[in-house]
């Protein structure tokens, strides 16, 4: 019995210690002291550091989490070169935008824009010295995954629309047609509420081989082999509810295939693409 009491006392002591160590209980936590001089004092004075503006958040490209290594660059309104850059890790980025004290360009209250893999991202922000913000960046058709069936998509005049048959592993069109040599826009909507899909135009008779190569390329590659001559046009891997416009030059007259290269989908999710003379 005594042993049990001693054991319990020991556990209590450990719990109390942890509570204090973690700043819990009645122990007040000390806010970190800001010892940095305020920006208005530092501007233009050599050696006077100006606290940067930090941003962290997720990066979504065409409805899917950005692959590792995707470039994120920040631009200051009116400055042609980027003012900061980083790369995506695990779908997230961290960027600190520093105004050098020697800089003649004052950053305060100016607009910050972001590029993701060279494309204009959203949203934008305003630079504030010492601020740290959670800002989730999106580029392309980066609508957040829909919970319900997505609404109809606006299809531009002359574009070809293709979707999925709800949650089945099928496209809603058995074939698409466009004039050889013309520039066409395929608007691909992933109408599924559960599955990721892509739309890939490939040489005739190669859909299963390309899908197998895509499986080897992996999810980071959107299940599409890179630098593969059999791939003629492609969307990214779209989250449920996502939409992407794929713009490309229609190849020479003939019959081609389109397919979803998500592992296993290629057996039911494909169709013919006919390039008319």
Please give the residue ranges that form the binding site for Cu ion (CB under 5 A): 197, 260, 262, 265, 269
Nearer to Cu ion, 48 or 145 (CB): 145
Beta bridge partners of 229: none
How far apart CA 170 and CA 246 sit, in angstroms, is 19
Nearer to Cu ion, 262 or 273 (CB): 262
Least separation in angstroms between residue 269's CB and Cu ion is 5
Return the SS3 of 53. strand
Q: Calculate the CA dihedral of residues 164, 166, 168, 172 and round it to 10 degrees.
A: -30
Least separation in angstroms between residue 160's CB and Cu ion is 18
Residue closest to Cu ion, measured at CB: 260
> Is 245 within 8 Å of 187 (Cβ atoms)?
yes
Encoded tokens for 157: 């005049």
Nearer to Cu ion, 197 or 230 (CB): 197
Least separation in angstroms between residue 117's CB and Cu ion is 23
Instruction: Choose among 139, 40, 135: nearest CA to 95.
Output: 135
Least separation in angstroms between residue 233's CB and Cu ion is 16
Nearer to Cu ion, 55 or 258 (CB): 258
> Is 270 within 8 Å of 198 (Cβ atoms)?
no
């Amino acid at each position: 019995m005594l042993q049990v009491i001693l054991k319990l006392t020991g556990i209590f002591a450990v719990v109390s210690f942890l509570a204090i160590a973690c700043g819990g209980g009645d122990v007040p936590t000390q806010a970190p002291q800001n010892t940095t001089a305020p920006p208005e004092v530092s501007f233009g004075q050599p050696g006077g550091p100006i606290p940067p503006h930090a941003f962290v958040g997720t990066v979504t490209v065409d409805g899917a989490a950005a692959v590792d290594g995707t470039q994120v660059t920040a631009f200051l309104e009116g400055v042609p070169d980027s003012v900061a850059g980083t790369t995506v890790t695990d779908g997230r980025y961290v960027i600190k935008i520093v105004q050098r004290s020697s800089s003649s360009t004052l950053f305060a209250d100016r607009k910050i824009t972001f590029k993701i893999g060279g494309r204009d991202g959203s949203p934008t922000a305003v630079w504030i010295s010492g601020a740290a913000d959670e800002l989730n960046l999106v580029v392309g058709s980066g609508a957040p995954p829909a919970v319900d069936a997505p609404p109809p998509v606006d299809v531009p005049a002359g574009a070809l629309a293709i979707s999925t048959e709800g949650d089945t592993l099928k496209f809603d069109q058995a074939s698409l047609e466009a004039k050889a040599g013309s520039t066409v826009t395929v608007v691909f909507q992933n109408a599924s509420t559960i599955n990721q899909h892509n739309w890939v135009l490939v040489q005739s008779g190669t859909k299963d081989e390309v899908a197998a190569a895509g499986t080897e390329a992996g999810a980071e590659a959107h299940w599409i082999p890179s630098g593969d001559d059999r791939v003629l046009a492609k969307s990214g891997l779209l989250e449920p509810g996502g939409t992407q416009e794929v713009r490309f030059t229609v190849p020479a007259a003939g019959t081609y295939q389109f397919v979803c290269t998500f592992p296993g989908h290629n057996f039911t999710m494909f169709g013919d693409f006919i390039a008319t003379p």
